[in-house]
Each structure stands twice: as C-alpha cells, then as structure tokens.
Chains A and B, each alone.
Chain A
Amino acid sequence: NAGVMQNPRHLVRRRGQEARLRCSPVKGHSHVYWYRQLPEEGLKFMVYLQKENIIDESGMPKERFSAEFPKEGPSILRIQQVVRGDSAAYFCASSPQVEQYFGPGTRLTVT
C-alpha cells in the first residue's frame, strides 16, 4: 500500500510567487492535516480537512494561505505571494480515524 505522498519534494519560489503543495493521502483515508516546520523549530499544526470540508484552520495564517481537499484528487496547500518567512518544511498527514501517517514533506525555499 502506498503511504502518504507529497509533491514536489523541493520547491523554490521567488518572493511574490505562488506555491502549490500537493498531498495524496493513504487510499481510504478521509482526514488530511497540514503542518509546518520552520528551520530549527517544531512542527506546528495548520489545518485539518475532510473531503470537501475545512474542519479546523486555527493554525493557518489568516492571509495568503489556503487549503482544500476536493472530492477527487489530492489535497492542496496554496501560498500566495510567498515571502522569505514562508521557507519551511510542510508536512501533510492522513488519518483513517485518530492516528496520523505523515508524508515525506515538501521543502519550500523562498529566494
């Protein structure tokens, strides 16, 4: 069985560009979570989604960040007008119920 897949694994964007991060959950998992890990810091929860619904976005910055988990296809974390402070590792996790299984992450570098 394939685990959680994230792509791209590495993404370089210039300031002001958009970044789109994709997460394909484990087949059959209907819960997706996104976390961000800034350099030398711990992981911070961003958003929790179920199919077509945002359940909890309390950890998401109010501006420039959005997430979706459509009925078909991967979950997308979108960052508009990226700034250097957005440089981080972004991890998604999927869950069948309570335990979460993490992907390998996307390393975003903003130049």
Chain B
Amino acid sequence: DAKTTQPPSMDCAEGRAANLPCNHSTISGNEYVYWYRQIHSQGPQYIIHGLKNNETNEMASLIITEDRKSSTLILPHATLRDTAVYYCIVTGSNSGYALNFGKGTSLLVTP
C-alpha cells in the first residue's frame, strides 16, 4: 500500500470549511484514496473515496490532484460534531482493500 502523510493536528472554526490535506506520492494506478474518521473511541466512520476524479457526497468533498499524488478532504461547514481524527488511506484490490490506518489528523472544531 502507498503511504500517506497528514498533518498531526488542525483547528477550524465552527461554520467554516475544514480543508484536510494528504500526500500520497507513491500511489499506484489501481489504488483508491479513502477518508475515514474516528470520533473519540467509536468505530471509524467512512466518509468518501475516489480514484482520480473529484467526488462529493452529503458529508464532504474529495479533491484529488491531477497527478494523484495528493488530495484534500473538504468539510464545507464544520460543526462541533466534526471534531475527530481523520484518516487518509490509500488501498486497492491488491491488498483486498484492507485499511492501513496511520496517525491521521486530529481536527478540532472550535465554537
């Protein structure tokens, strides 16, 4: 699996957009970019995934650069409940889509 690099922590004001970056320069052609988050000690929550096109769902948007070496998760209007650790993970069929959780980014949304 390709390794990912994320900042260890970020702050965001409530109501503002939270932009979480991720570098994955060794991503291979058949690997997807996934984002999950873990709120406190709950089970991780799937957010979004993409291959090369930008993606949007009810939770977030995922922007993947053209060379696929980095991506950004965007939470358009962060709320206090979005405070969590966010994980950017690259995986594909070669590894059965098993998820390699790194340290992630601890996002703190402040009032």
Residues A43 and B32 in contact, CB atoms below 8 Å apart: no
CB-defined interface of A76-107 with B at 8 Å, one 1/0 digit per residue? 00000000000001010101001111111100
Q: Which residues of A contact B45 (CB under 8 A)?
A: 102
B44, CB-defined interface residue at 8 Å: yes
A12, CB-defined interface residue at 8 Å: no
Residues B98 and A48 in contact, CB atoms below 8 Å apart: yes
Rounded to whole angstroms, the CA-CA distance of A46 and B30 in the bound complex is: 23
Residues A55 and B97 in contact, CB atoms below 8 Å apart: no
How many interface residues does B have (CB within 8 Å)?
20
Residues A98 and B95 in contact, CB atoms below 8 Å apart: no
DSSP class of A's interface residues: helix, strand, loop or mixed? strand
User: Of all chain A residues, which has the CB nearest B103?
Assistant: A42
Residues B43 and A55 in contact, CB atoms below 8 Å apart: no
CB distance from A60 to the nearest CB of B (A): 12
Cross-interface CB contact of A55 among B96, B100, B104, cutoff 8 Å: B96
Rounded to whole angstroms, the CA-CA distance of A31 and B97 in the bound complex is: 10
Q: List 15 extra interface pairs beyond A101-B46, A104-B43, A105-B41, CB under 8 A.
A: A4-B43, A33-B99, A35-B99, A35-B101, A42-B103, A43-B44, A43-B101, A59-B98, A98-B32, A98-B97, A99-B49, A100-B46, A100-B97, A102-B46, A105-B43
